[in-house]
Amino acid sequence: MINLETPKKHKAFVEQAHQVAMNMLRPISRKYDLAEHEYPKELDMLAAMIDGLESSGSSEGAGATGVRVEASADKGNKNGSNLASVLSVQEMCWGDTGLMLAFPRQGLGNSAIASVATDEQMERFKGTWASMAITEPSFGSDSSAITTTAKKDGDHYVINGEKIFVTAGDRSDSIVVWATLDKSLGKAAIKSFVVFKDTPGVKVERLEHKLGIRASDTAVITFTDARVPAENLLGNPEINVKEGFAGAMATFDNTRPLVAAMAVGCARASLDLTRDLLKQAGVEIDYDKPAYLQSAAAAKFLQLESDWEGAHLLTLQAAWMADNKLPNSLEASMSKAKAGRVGSDVTLSCVELCTGVGYAETELLEKWARDSKILDIFEGTQQIQQLIVARRILGLSSAELK
């Protein structure tokens, strides 16, 4: 059974992540928000520290990990790398979401590799910094509408298409590209490929200017007759029409709880600062009194904390299920839907509660409100997550419930 407290084995690591967020990310947060597209050089030192932890076996498995549902003889409660990842991501985003997304070798593409790659591929792509390219100009959250093609040519695939909103697309050294092997076969023909940035035909066309997470670069990338070794197709190259889109969706079972953790961490930062600012203004929050007996500001704050707790627990559940080899697709979407909405609501409400102080750049509240909005959009919008949850609860297919 899941234990809703932070596991003892992860507490030291989570505290380390919190210290990094507080002492290394927070101090440079505003700097790289204003200097959009400038690479945060300070992160190189942090990456070196993490590499050292991993080589010593002390990293607790944090970082980009994969969801692999397998039969297990172990009936006990396992708190593994998936739970460690969401806890560490939450703490890092308490420091700065954009900087966390700019972290070397911790791209969303790394989670895709960890989710569906073979053991041989896991070893071969170890150490790469992989962004993930899914969205195209013709669609947003409907990943099954992919038009980028991958045509087999001897021992290579030839990839053609355009991808937009690629997080870390300029700075990463490889890209996990989603493409279709045969459009006529529908979702089942969609596969993901590891494409290195120096591959001829791969071009970063431009970087986007954004509302938030400005420390992270977001790129438009085109692929023109890019030849990729056949062994770079992640997982099984066979097209299984019966399986449909399930293989590709395994990636989202991993990345959606991570994005939920980002929203939870950013919202927690806003709540912590707002509590302090309210206290300075003479507003006391009493956890032993009913909300209706307190000031309107205190009552609103208690409601926001309650919403945050629900998002936090759903995120932990999705990660814990992955660690214990339980199918977590429903819970992954539930955590992403809940945390994405709560993150935006909490950060904007904190700006409102702190009035002019919240709106000004003297504090980071306005920045967190801008940063949090993307967490309700990428990796599947709020509306898409609700649709997925409804389909799974009602037992309906995508054709039956659109």
Is the separation of the CB atoms in 291 and 298 below 8 Å? yes
Task: Band the pLDDT of 397: cuts 50, 70, 90.
Answer: confident
Instruction: Dig out the tokens for 199 from the structure.
Output: 């591959």
Q: Could you name the CATH architecture of 246-394?
A: Up-down Bundle (1.20)
Q: How far apart are CA 397 and CA 402, in angstroms?
A: 9
Q: How far apart are CA 259 and CA 172, in angstroms?
A: 19
Task: Band the pLDDT of 63: cuts 50, 70, 90.
Answer: very low
Query: 128-232 sits in which CATH class?
Result: mainly beta
- Determine the 3-state secondary structure of 156 from DSSP: strand
Evaluate if residue 61 carries a pLDDT over 50: no
Task: Band the pLDDT of 246: cuts 50, 70, 90.
Answer: low
Location of each CATH 2.40.110.10 domain in the chain: 128-232
Instruction: Select which of 38, 305, 379, 400 is catalytic.
Output: 379
Average pLDDT for residues 334-359, to the nearest whole number?
A: 98
Average pLDDT for residues 279-303, to the nearest whole number?
A: 96
Angle value at C-alpha 62, between 5 and 37, nearest 5 degrees: 120
Mean pLDDT of the chain: 90
Of all residues in the chain, the percent with pLDDT exceeding 90 is 73
| pLDDT at site 202 | 98
Location of each CATH 1.10.540.10 domain in the chain: 8-121
Of all residues in the chain, the percent with pLDDT exceeding 70 is 91
Top-confidence range, 55-59, 63-67, 269-273, 324-328: 269-273
The predicted-structure confidence for 248-272, as pLDDT tens digits, reads as follows 677 788 889 999 999 999 999 999 9
Average pLDDT for residues 53-75, to the nearest whole number?
A: 49
Q: How far apart are CA 279 and CA 302, in angstroms?
A: 14
How far is CA 295 from its chain centroid? 36
Q: How far apart are CA 402 and CA 10, in angstroms?
A: 41
Q: Which of 274, 210, 262 is nearest to 33 (CA)?
A: 210
The predicted-structure confidence for 81-140, as pLDDT tens digits, reads as follows 889 999 999 999 999 999 999 999 888 899 889 888 999 999 999 999 999 999 999 987
Instruction: Determine how many CB atoms are found less than 10 A away from the CB of residue 161.
Output: 21
Model's pTM, two decimal places? 0.92
Q: Which of 339, 358, 360 is nearest to 348 (CA)?
A: 358
What is each CA distance from 45 to 40, 51, 337, in whole angstroms?
A: 10, 10, 34
At the topology level, CATH places domain 8-121 in Butyryl-Coa Dehydrogenase, subunit A; domain 1 (1.10.540)
Location of each CATH 1.20.140.10 domain in the chain: 246-394
Evaluate if residue 60 carries a pLDDT over 60: no
The question of whether 205 is a catalytic residue gets the answer no
Evaluate if residue 144 carries a pLDDT over 90: no
Transcribe 262-315 into DSSP letters.
HHHHHHHHHHHHHHHHHHHTT----TTS-GGGS-HHHHHHHHHHHHHHHHHHHH
3-state SS string for 14-63: HHHHHHHHHHHHHHHHHHHHHCCCCCCCHHHHHHHHHHHHHHHCCCCCCC
